[in-house]
């Protein structure tokens, strides 16, 4: 029997976009930012390096958002279990809808962090830095819940 190449490619792309976004946030939070702080302390160079990393990572985040949206639509259509966006008719659609709500929240937090918090000139740099880290941490935690829900959906028996 031949492998269903299109669904495999769509799911692979979906997983790559997920790894880029959520994995990138985890790497920033757990390794990159702490390492930069350890080497440079709270210096001008620290801010420059973090700013450069955030700018570069934002490209991957926005591409991942769009890619997840498109591949997610295709995957839901292929599953045959989805009854529409944000529906709660069965276990599959309920979990998928909760996942979508969290995905939208992650997008809003990412946009808020990159377009609003980073451009707030009236607050102290230390407060801005803490706010950025808190938003990143919240987004990472939501991302972990999204991964859990994705795994849950994949392990549900076909309805």
Burial class (CB in 10 A: 0-12, 13-18, 19+), 92: buried
Q: Report angle CA 90, 95, 98 to the nearest 5 degrees.
A: 125
The C-alpha atoms of residue 85 and residue 43 are separated, in whole angstroms, by: 46
pLDDT recorded at residue 72: 87
pLDDT recorded at residue 86: 79
The C-alpha atoms of residue 108 and residue 114 are separated, in whole angstroms, by: 10
Q: What is the pTM of this model?
A: 0.84
Query: Per-block average pLDDT, block size 10, for the chain (159 residues)?
Result: 81 94 92 90 86 89 93 81 76 89 94 82 81 92 95 77
Q: How many domains does the chain have?
A: 1
The C-alpha atoms of residue 156 and residue 58 are separated, in whole angstroms, by: 33
pLDDT recorded at residue 80: 67
Q: Which residue range(s) make up the domain with 132?
A: 5-155
pLDDT recorded at residue 159: 45
């Amino acid at each position: 029997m031949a492998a269903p190449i299109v669904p495999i490619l769509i799911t692979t792309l979906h997983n790559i976009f997920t790894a880029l976004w959520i994995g990138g946030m985890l790497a920033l939070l757990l390794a990159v930012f702490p390492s930069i702080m350890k080497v440079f302390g709270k210096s001008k160079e620290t801010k420059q390096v973090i700013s450069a990393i955030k700018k570069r990572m934002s490209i991957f985040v926005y591409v991942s958002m769009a890619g997840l949206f498109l591949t997610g639509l295709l995957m839901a259509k292929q599953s045959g279990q989805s009854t529409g966006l944000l529906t709660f008719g069965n276990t599959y659609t309920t979990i998928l809808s909760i996942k979508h709500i969290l995905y939208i929240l992650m997008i809003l937090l990412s946009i808020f962090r990159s377009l609003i918090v980073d451009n707030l000139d009236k607050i102290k740099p230390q407060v801005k830095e803490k706010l950025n880290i808190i938003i990143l941490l919240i987004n990472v935690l939501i991302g972990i819940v999204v991964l859990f829900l994705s795994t849950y959906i994949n392990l549900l028996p076909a309805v």
